[in-house]
Amino acid sequence: MSSRHVILGVTASIALHRGLDITSALRKMGDRVSVVMTPHATKLISPVTFQAMSLEVVYHDMWALAESMDHDHIRMAQTGDALLVAPATAGTIGKLAHGIADNILVTTALAFSGPCCFAPAMNWRMWKNPVVQKNCKILQDLGWHMIAPATGDLACGEQGPGRLADVCDIMDALKLATP
């Protein structure tokens, strides 16, 4: 059994529901899971759902922390053993690659100094866009471990690369990337 503290960043991808499976898999491995949601992700799934799965407070509103003078996202970044962003949208990948700290997930990631992984999930046209590919390369050059998307049926009804990797593949990649 593992006993890591994994910070799971989830974004507003249609694959967001699989973040619940990732949370469950991490907990079954004995990991503590702190979920950080982008504001847009909360439009698709309630933070309460992730809270029920993780048994931890879910962070999603940077300004709520500012009003309470609480800096849990900094403390979490200091105590986390690994950071996993899954699913990672093109928008969040771009923000992470360029340090655009406009939400709690990116600010937490910028304060985090341990191993970082990201699992892209998007339409195949977005995935193949040279800007997205460049941003993924920037993150990899910065030491982030990319968990490549799978090829298959996409939520839009098309087929191609861009599907969130299988949960077991994400767990395997996270094991390899973390001490």
Question: Residue 155 to residues 13, 42, 122, 136, 152: CA-CA distances in angstroms?
Answer: 10, 19, 9, 22, 10
**Catalytic residues, which ones?**
156
* SS (HEC) of 135-166: HHHHHHHCCCEECCCEEEECCCCCEEEEECCC
C-beta of residue 108 within 8 angstroms of C-beta of residue 114: no
Q: Exposure pattern of 82-116 as b/e (b: 16+ CB <10 Å)?
A: bbbbbbbbbbbbbbbbeeebebbbbbbbbbbebbb
